[in-house]
A and B are shown apart, each in its own frame.
Chain A
Amino acid sequence: MTISVWPDNKPLDVAAIRDLPEGERAEQLKLVAKQVRRLIVQMIDIARAGHIGGDLSVTDALVTAAFGVLNISPETADDPGRDRLILSKGHCAAALYSVLALRGFFPIADLETYMKPLSKLNGHPNRLKVKGVEANTGPLGHGLPIAVGSAVASKLSGKNWQTFVFTGDGELQEGSNWEAAMTAAHRKLDNLVVIVDRNRLQQGARTEDTASLDPLGDKWASFGWEVADIDGNDTAALLKAFTQNRDGKPLVVIANTLKGKGVSFIEDRVEWHHKVPSKEQVELALKELA
């Protein structure tokens, strides 16, 4: 089985997207997001494992940050001043790997090895195996503290890079996030952005039926953060939020998403946290993402 990308055989110049005017950028990002979703479905099909729901919900935010805003490229991967993108919800490695492959960090064909014996593409990301990965996540609640350290380092070193960290919403039940949130606000880390993938589902149930998070925006605001509460599957809204004024504070983008976004029978269903689609379902999914 081989991974297919850009079915019309006309690859986008992904490196150029960041320089486009905002409206055009948002349109191009939509196209990239669709490709990432297609890659995710194919990777999970080949591996017969993965976390499809969370991969598909976070795709638009990940793509918007990586291709539309941040200075992230294979050429600058070892540059000390590069922007940092941290995937705290490490179970969604397939989404991150797809983004990195499309951006040229490694060949797209390598995505076929996801979770295969001795593959660099482990079920959770490893910075020592894959360029572009900044943190070895998997246990939830680790990304934000690391991102806070990165944001402090950015200021201390005078290099002034931006740090974007992507968390799940269920993940916010881990206390470590709130410890880090206090540190970030105390230190006025206006170079730090947290994107909460607010798909309202966790592994076994809805977040509000497990340990409720609402009113989530008020919680962050009371911790001293700037809050943007937006449609997290809309690249235009994401672009706007990522570049908004932060008023000298760290910014949290509450990205309201659909878990499984883009594949109708996967959307907003708890059982699709890590269910693997059948061969027929894969075909259906790819048709919906055509």
Chain B
Amino acid sequence: MNAHSSVSNETFDCRVAFSEKLIALAEADPRIVAVCNDSVGSSNLNAFRDRFPDRLINVGIAEQNMVGVAAGLANGGFIPFVCAAGPFLSGRATEQVKADVAYSNYGIVLCAMSPGMAYGELGPTHHSIEDLSWMRAIDNLDVLVPADPEQTKAAMDWAVASGRPIYMRVGRHKVPSVTPADRDVAFTFGKIDVTGDGNDVALVATGTLVSRALEAQAILAADGIAARVLNVSTIKPLDAETIIKAAKETKGLVIAEEGVLEGGLGAAVATTLAENHPARAKFLGVTSFAPTGSTDFLLEHFGLTAKGIADAARKLVG
């Protein structure tokens, strides 16, 4: 049943798939525009700019302005992909996201580049670890965290087709592909993708943590612990059914995310469990402003590794 007894060594920066897909979408649909904040390079928009110079609106270093401008473009019939580093998009422009995008119900795709701790040693000001909490708190805003390039592209297809207000993380820290070969679509809105049917423990992960959860699943299997991995690529609305099923069929859940524990994926899962099927759970995330260090160093520092997930799982079921 386990399609991922081993996770591939080849890893990807999801911004590459993002920019290829954005160009393809823009070729097919003249309503698609990109809006950015002096972030052409960091959002991997160079090729888009060369192909569609008029359809790239770079407002300069001005995130509040950027999101407001996107709302005006949406009002004028366009579909803006707003591309900016996650911390500044979600943090600086929160009120614009709330009032101008979500409350106004515009079809805008807010693309949070280099999220989590992808900016490593640049430090906490540049870490986007609160974004899932902040964005989840806003009504009428879907929150997506694709875990690999295939999911990133499929989520973008869905975003355009749906016309919804959307916040989406686009990963920079390299990840392996986690999409099982037998899936028709890599991403289904509002559905958790489950790998394995282990009944001892459920490993609930998102983004960069999904491949690490799959590795943990293999580590645990060697110890005779049967785990299932839940890849949550739609944080909001949460697929409650799959969470409740996992709670009923296992002895507990480990929830892992590259973000704070207050209000993100873990909090969403906790609410669902508490209301429907209280279960044992352990929450892994970023528990303080990070010290100086690279992304890998920091993921290790906070126990956001295959080993960290496996250890937490052993404690839960042991």
User: Which residues of A pack against B, CB within 8 Å?
Assistant: 47, 49, 90-91, 115-124, 126, 136-141, 170-171, 173-175, 202-205, 207, 210-211
* CB <8 Å contact, B88 and A139: yes
Q: Kindly state the separation between the CA atoms of A27 and B138 in the bound complex, as whole angstroms.
A: 57
Which of B87, B122, B293 meets A117, CB within 8 Å?
B293
Q: Which of B116-138 contact A (CB under 8 A)?
A: 119, 121-123, 125-126
Q: Kindly state the separation between the CA atoms of A124 and B289 in the bound complex, as whole angstroms.
A: 13
Which of B12-20, B60-68, B239-247, B260-268 touches A?
A: B60-68
Some 12 contacts from A to B, beta carbons below 8 A apart, are: A116-B292, A124-B122, A124-B123, A136-B125, A138-B122, A138-B123, A138-B126, A139-B87, A139-B91, A174-B61, A210-B58, A211-B59
* CB <8 Å contact, A173 and B61: yes
* CB <8 Å contact, B61 and A141: yes
Interface string of B76-115 (1 = CB under 8 A from A): 0000000000011001100000000000000000000000
Residue B163 is within 8 A (CB to CB) of chain A in the complex? no
Q: Which 5 A-B pairs have the closest CB atoms?
A: A211-B60, A138-B125, A173-B60, A123-B122, A115-B121
- Point out the residues of chain A lying under 8 angstroms from B297, CB to CB: 117
Chain A's nearest CB lies how many Å from the CB of B117?
12
- Point out the residues of chain B lying under 8 angstroms from A173, CB to CB: 38, 59-62
* CB <8 Å contact, B61 and A49: no
Q: Kindly state the separation between the CA atoms of A83 and B60 in the bound complex, as whole angstroms.
A: 32
Q: Kindly state the separation between the CA atoms of A173 and B92 in the bound complex, as whole angstroms.
A: 14
* CB <8 Å contact, A202 and B291: no
Q: Kindly state the separation between the CA atoms of A136 and B127 in the bound complex, as whole angstroms.
A: 14
Interface SS of B by simple majority: loop
Q: Kindly state the separation between the CA atoms of A129 and B38 in the bound complex, as whole angstroms.
A: 30
Which of A171, A204, A207 meets B40, CB within 8 Å?
A204
- Point out the residues of chain A lying under 8 angstroms from B64, CB to CB: 175
The interface size bin for chain B is: 20 to 34
Q: Which of B32-47 contact A (CB under 8 A)?
A: 38-42
Q: Please, which residue of chain B has its CB at the minimum distance from the CB of A142?
A: B125
Which of B62, B87, B91, B292 meets A123, CB within 8 Å?
B292
Residue B199 is within 8 A (CB to CB) of chain A in the complex? no
Task: Indicate whether A204 sits within 8 Å of B41 (C-beta atoms), given known contacts A140-B61, A211-B60.
Answer: yes
Q: Kindly state the separation between the CA atoms of A116 and B193 in the bound complex, as whole angstroms.
A: 37
- Point out the residues of chain A lying under 8 angstroms from B140, CB to CB: none
Chain A's nearest CB lies how many Å from the CB of B239?
34
Q: Kindly state the separation between the CA atoms of A205 and B40 in the bound complex, as whole angstroms.
A: 9
Chain A's nearest CB lies how many Å from the CB of B275?
37
Residue B294 is within 8 A (CB to CB) of chain A in the complex? yes
Number of A-B contacts (CB under 8 A): 87
Q: Please, which residue of chain A has its CB at the minimum distance from the CB of B123?
A: A122
Chain A's nearest CB lies how many Å from the CB of B295?
12
Task: Indicate whether A202 sits within 8 Å of B121 (C-beta atoms), given known contacts A118-B292, A175-B65.
Answer: no
Task: Indicate whether A211 sits within 8 Å of B62 (C-beta atoms), given known contacts A117-B294, A119-B292.
Answer: yes
- Point out the residues of chain B lying under 8 angstroms from A139, CB to CB: 87-88, 91-92, 125-126
Chain B's nearest CB lies how many Å from the CB of A50?
10
Chain A's nearest CB lies how many Å from the CB of B291?
5
Chain B's nearest CB lies how many Å from the CB of A97?
12
Interface SS of A by simple majority: loop
- Point out the residues of chain B lying under 8 angstroms from A47, CB to CB: 121
- Point out the residues of chain B lying under 8 angstroms from A138, CB to CB: 122-123, 125-126
Q: Kindly state the separation between the CA atoms of A2 and B118 in the bound complex, as whole angstroms.
A: 28
Q: Which of B261-295 contact A (CB under 8 A)?
A: 291-294
* CB <8 Å contact, B88 and A210: no
Chain B's nearest CB lies how many Å from the CB of A120?
8
Q: Please, which residue of chain A has its CB at the minimum distance from the CB of B291?
A: A118
Q: Kindly state the separation between the CA atoms of A173 and B39 in the bound complex, as whole angstroms.
A: 13
Chain B's nearest CB lies how many Å from the CB of A33?
25
Q: Kindly state the separation between the CA atoms of A277 and B79 in the bound complex, as whole angstroms.
A: 40
Q: Kindly state the separation between the CA atoms of A53 and B59 in the bound complex, as whole angstroms.
A: 22
- Point out the residues of chain B lying under 8 angstroms from A119, CB to CB: 292
Q: Please, which residue of chain A has its CB at the minimum distance from the CB of B88?
A: A139
* CB <8 Å contact, A123 and B60: no
Q: Kindly state the separation between the CA atoms of A141 and B60 in the bound complex, as whole angstroms.
A: 12
- Point out the residues of chain B lying under 8 angstroms from A124, CB to CB: 122-123, 125-126
* CB <8 Å contact, A122 and B292: yes
* CB <8 Å contact, B38 and A122: no
- Point out the residues of chain A lying under 8 angstroms from B126, CB to CB: 123-124, 138-139
Which of A91, A120, A210 meets B38, CB within 8 Å?
A210
Beyond known contacts A136-B125, A139-B88, A210-B58: 14 more, CB 8 A cutoff: A91-B122, A117-B293, A117-B297, A119-B292, A123-B119, A124-B126, A138-B123, A139-B91, A139-B125, A173-B61, A175-B62, A175-B64, A203-B61, A205-B38
Q: Kindly state the separation between the CA atoms of A113 and B119 in the bound complex, as whole angstroms.
A: 18
* CB <8 Å contact, A170 and B60: yes
* CB <8 Å contact, A203 and B62: no
* CB <8 Å contact, B61 and A118: no
Q: Kindly state the separation between the CA atoms of A49 and B292 in the bound complex, as whole angstroms.
A: 13
* CB <8 Å contact, B292 and A202: no
Q: Please, which residue of chain A has its CB at the minimum distance from the CB of B60?
A: A211
* CB <8 Å contact, B125 and A90: yes
Q: Kindly state the separation between the CA atoms of A139 and B62 in the bound complex, as whole angstroms.
A: 11
* CB <8 Å contact, A115 and B61: no
